[in-house]
Amino acid sequence: MKSPRRFISTAARCATTSATARWKKRRVEIVSANRALRAFLKAGGVIAYPTESCYGLGCDPRNRAAVQRILRLKQRMQRKGLIVIAAHAQQLTRYVETDALHAAGHSSHWPGPVSLLLPASKRCPVWLRGQHRTLAVRVTAHVQTAHLCAQLSMALVSTSANRAGAVALKTARACQRQFGHRVRVIPGKIGAGRRPSTIIDFASGRVLRT
């Protein structure tokens, strides 16, 4: 007959093994889901995802067709330009000048709900900056969105999920009703902000939107 101590030890090992197996399975599922979402974005897909104050429409900033799809969904003119959001400043190096980005990265604005206008780099696509020589970029403090950008290893276009002039959508369900199969909705909760992100011209300090 096994001693109670040996029985407990065996049961504990079994429980630990089972928990480890579940964790590994879950990790594989997450990695697989991230790969699938990245492939979807690379192929020109559009997502709706939670941000600091509302749901946003996003895509791979380098994919012109995807950006144009967002502009059509919003009925927004390209010349106005868009915001690019990231988990950390390094994800923005392709889009804005390095020196300005370095200075912005050491400012008190990031991470946070503040988009900064920085000089667009030579590689920044015109479909992102529109008619401007600057691009609005942000290192987000929204945990889920930062995690999303980190897991995808890419920055995302970020523009409020709504048609031009309409109220920004606040829930996944509202996005699904509004856009249907045209976007892939990422479930989640928006942050506590009541207004869209503040936009500041970093060079002059001028607040363009509060």
Summarised one tens digit per residue, pLDDT across range 70-91 is 999 999 999 999 999 999 999 9
Binning pLDDT at 50, 70 and 90, where does residue 124 land? very high
Instruction: Assess whether the previous peptide bond of 119 is cis (omega < 30° from 0).
Output: no
Q: What's the whole-number mean pLDDT along residues 120-138? A: 97
Looking at residue 72, its amino acid is: R
Same domain, 28 and 98: no
Structure token pair of residue 192: 């506590």
Same domain, 58 and 2: no
pLDDT at 7 over 90: no
Alpha-carbon distance 90 to 145, whole Å? 16
Model pTM score: 0.85
Same domain, 31 and 50: no
Instruction: Assess whether the previous peptide bond of 113 is cis (omega < 30° from 0).
Output: no
Same domain, 132 and 167: yes
Structure token pair of residue 75: 């009925």
Contact status, residue 83 vs residue 105, Cβ threshold 8 Å: no
Q: Residue 195: its pLDDT value, please?
A: 82
Binning pLDDT at 50, 70 and 90, where does residue 210 land? confident
DSSP-derived secondary structure letter, 200: E
Mean of per-residue pLDDT scores for the chain: 90
Q: What's the whole-number mean pLDDT along residues 117-138? A: 98
Same domain, 104 and 14: no
Q: Could you tell me what percent of the chain has a pLDDT over 70?
A: 85
Q: What is the pLDDT of residues 11-55, one digit of tens each?
A: 556 656 666 666 555 555 566 788 999 999 999 999 999 999 999
Same domain, 18 and 59: no
Same domain, 141 and 60: yes
Number of domains in the chain: 2
* Pair type for strands 134-139 and 83-86: parallel
Same domain, 124 and 168: yes
Structure token pair of residue 68: 């144009």
Q: Residue 193: its pLDDT value, please?
A: 84
What is the span of the domain harbouring residue 173?
43-209
Same domain, 60 and 157: yes
Same domain, 201 and 148: yes
Alpha-carbon distance 127 to 68, whole Å? 8
Q: How many CB atoms lie within 10 A of CB 111?
A: 17
Q: Residue 9: its pLDDT value, please?
A: 63
Structure token pair of residue 144: 């889920």
Structure token pair of residue 178: 């509004």
Q: Residue 187: its pLDDT value, please?
A: 96
Look-up of token digits 């429409």: 57
Alpha-carbon distance 97 to 84, whole Å? 14
Give me the torsion for CA of 58, 76, 53, 41, rounded to 10°.
Answer: 0
Q: What's the whole-number mean pLDDT along residues 172-176? A: 98
Q: What is the pLDDT of residues 176-207, one digit of tens each?
A: 999 999 999 999 999 998 788 899 999 999 99
Same domain, 84 and 66: yes
Same domain, 73 and 143: yes
